[in-house]
Structure 1
């Protein structure tokens, strides 16, 4: 088994999962391209890739950099005499709810923005509930993330009787 891991670089389970994902992707591609206009699927995939790489990736990279600039970089040292260790990885407590909320918005934006009226028969819900529910889900995601951040900060604080870390003072 260790010889396989040394040659492949991962476990046999990883190889099996990769092969299964390739098989599923191939099956989905065959099903998609089996329709009347397979070139429309290819155009959609190329357009989606270009939209992501040329518009969305720079947009959310800029947004992430702006958030780090406004809120402070995670690698900044703690203030002198603060007694608290620097908070590393705090930005992920913002990134995860933003990502999940964005995926929901991207997936259901016609319903959230009220641009479609035909889904009332399918969902059994009025057209005006989706925006409020998306906002509620977004608020819950950010609330849970804030609670997790507080719990992380609470657990990583030094104990009351613990000696403070050695700090070099300027002469």
Structure 2
């Protein structure tokens, strides 16, 4: 059972890193699930304090990533239409132009949303789109940092027993 949990831990954390970029997958949450799988092994050295800290990081990063695009769009002078456009752009980019659409979708969505709101100021629409793009970069960076940190924690926890298991097979 330990080997199954260890392999699941690795799988969840790697898919969690992918999920930090792909909006359809809850990246940091999957990485935390991998950390939990590693914790449930009989040889785990992960303490409960580490689990609570990683849970707090997971919740904080998820909340920040949810509110950051609208906040940054507003911070760069955007309207509600720009914030909605950025959100629609993420999903439209994901479904219609993957993988590049996920990166550029928020930018174009915010610009289009702002232009629909006020056609007379394209420079402002471009600035709002830039803010939306920056929020995507910051949010993705935070999620990736947390997910990679959990992957490193899982690898450090399962490396010894996994190495011994592989040595007995090969």
Quick one: higher RCO (CA 8 Å, sep 6+), 1 or 2?
2
Normalized per residue, the structure richer in helix is 2
User: Bigger radius of gyration, 1 or 2?
Assistant: 1
Band the TM-score falls in, shorter-chain normalisation: 0.3 to 0.5
